[in-house]
Amino acid sequence: MINASLPELRRALDARQISAVELAGLFLDRIDALNPALNAFITVDREGALAAARVADARIAAGSAGPLTGIPLAHKDVFCTEGVLTTCGSKMLANFVSPYDAHVVSLLKVAGVVSLGKANMDEFAMGSSNESSYFGAVKNPWNPERIPGGSSGGSAAAVAARLAPIATGTDTGGSVRQPASYCGITGIKPTYGLVSRYGMIAYASSLDQGGAFGASAEDCALLLSAMTGFDERDSTSLERPTEDYAAALAASSATTPAARPLEGLRIGLPREFFAEGMADDVRATIDAAIAQYRALGATTIEVSLPNARLAIPAYYVIAPAECSSNLSRFDGVRYGHRAADYGDLADLYAKSRAEGFGAEVKRRILVGTYVLSHGYYDAYYLQAQRLRRLIAQDFQAALQHCDLIAGPTTPTTAWALGEKADDPVQMYLSDIYTIAVNLAGLPGLSHPAGFGADGLPVGLQLIGDYFAESRLLSAAHRFQQATDWHARRPAGAA
């Protein structure tokens, strides 16, 4: 059951081979056994999970179960959960019990999902390795000396080690796709605006987007279908009919020829992604996966994203600018950490923030405040917004010639814990292939494509036009029907 896909779990629950309470117990026991070493969870909610599982069992008995009723899940600790500790990986919120649910959390509750607890993450989702968490680093289940990626590293490690079959995450510059790649699982970041940001603690609001982790594209499709939908409480939520991505996978299966199911699909390979920068073993793995896509009937053409190289500099102006504004709410007054000793009100703010935020968060607040300040705004912030527009235009031009764009998710496999901890710029560069997608607001998916020379997973990234989630998931699903990279499990987690 631990390794079962969501459709297999659904069948087992519906056939009463296992109850939702038993299934939750199985995963909770596994968390008890493996989480002390992995540190993928900040909070394990055994009682809440078992209570939700009892409700799910009643629904199954009454014949009113949906696709996710009784399925266990981990929520990234960026999502507010009513009555449950919600830390965002920070000392600032180490005592914060949310009084309300994020929109995503309430949608999944309605679907009958059983939340096992809250997954570890980089502090305020700022990071690429999960080492900036106040609650300690997460270990990569494939090799405990390596990072799992970030910022949703706890979610990705939990799914890879089968502490949960699926998990939520958020992706501001790559935080779903990059840890999915490093942990050997599938992760999708949808089009900006598809998943409500209400109750998702803000980092950089124009880039933040909720996403889904699962072993396979099919599991991600089932989870994502339940996470999307218009929400009037988020001013950037898109008002459009919700899609059933899992049904779309099944429908495209029925209409495509079995031997060459991707016949007619045009995949663009950005010249700039395949230039220098990618490690040799990653390149060999990605080349082999693209050859597999061709064998399934897809054609490939070269496309160009000439401004993609400017994505990291543009992002590291825009994201800090937005975070400096968003994080001003953490002042020690209304909730969160408050310094024990302070003089006047200004001193209370300063000391609470100095004590509550870690080094990476402070670095970003300082940069953001600087680029927004009088005299620098035009030179940095406005310029970065112009680059953002150019990057988005590059994608639109490339997508005139192809249906999807493919390339590596990351330039290397997961690095050693501590290796880049003192060099933030090296850390930032690990997101070189993912960040442009957020700047453009496009959907992106990472799926397992093989292993590097060190035996660690390599992810292939698919990028589509706005609302191309079904196309991304279908292509990945076809690939996964023909290969078994997504079914490999780390030793010890089998």
Residues annotated as part of the active site: 76, 151, 175
Give yes or no for residue 130 binding ligand GLN (CB under 6 A).
no
The residue (of 42 and 65) whose beta carbon lies closer to ligand GLN is 42
Closest CA to 307 of 479, 196, 161, 436: 436
Give yes or no for residue 212 binding ligand GLN (CB under 6 A).
no
Q: Cα 181 vs. chain centroid, distance in angstroms?
A: 10
Q: Mask: binding to ligand GLN, 84-123, rule CB under 6 A, as x and -?
A: ----------------------------------------
Give yes or no for residue 126 binding ligand GLN (CB under 6 A).
yes
Give yes or no for residue 211 binding ligand GLN (CB under 6 A).
no
Indicate which single residue of 173, 332, 358, 368 sits in contact with ligand GLN (rule: CB under 6 A).
173
The residue (of 30 and 197) whose beta carbon lies closer to ligand GLN is 197
Indicate which single residue of 90, 120, 128, 285 sits in contact with ligand GLN (rule: CB under 6 A).
128
Indicate which single residue of 35, 43, 115, 175 sits in contact with ligand GLN (rule: CB under 6 A).
175
Question: Residue 176 is encoded by which pair of tokens?
Answer: 């779903």
Reduced to 3 states (helix: H, G, I; strand: E, B; else coil), residue 151 is coil
- Contacting ligand GLN within 290-319 (CB under 6 A): 319
Size of the site for ligand GLN (CB under 6 A): 13
d(CA 125, CA 108): 21
Give yes or no for residue 171 binding ligand GLN (CB under 6 A).
yes
Helix H or strand E encompassing 425: helix 424-429
d(CA 278, CA 441): 24
The residues with which 287 forms a beta bridge, in sequence order, are none
d(CA 98, CA 474): 36
Give yes or no for residue 179 binding ligand GLN (CB under 6 A).
no
Helix H or strand E encompassing 460: strand 457-463
Give yes or no for residue 321 binding ligand GLN (CB under 6 A).
no
Strand ranges for 123-241 from DSSP E: 166-170, 186-189, 210-214
Helix axes 469-482, 217-227, angle to 10 degrees: 160
Give yes or no for residue 180 binding ligand GLN (CB under 6 A).
no
Indicate which single residue of 69, 151, 326, 480 sits in contact with ligand GLN (rule: CB under 6 A).
151
Residues in the chain, total: 494
Give yes or no for residue 326 binding ligand GLN (CB under 6 A).
no
Q: Which residues bind ligand GLN (CB under 6 A)?
A: 125-128, 151, 171-175, 203, 319, 431
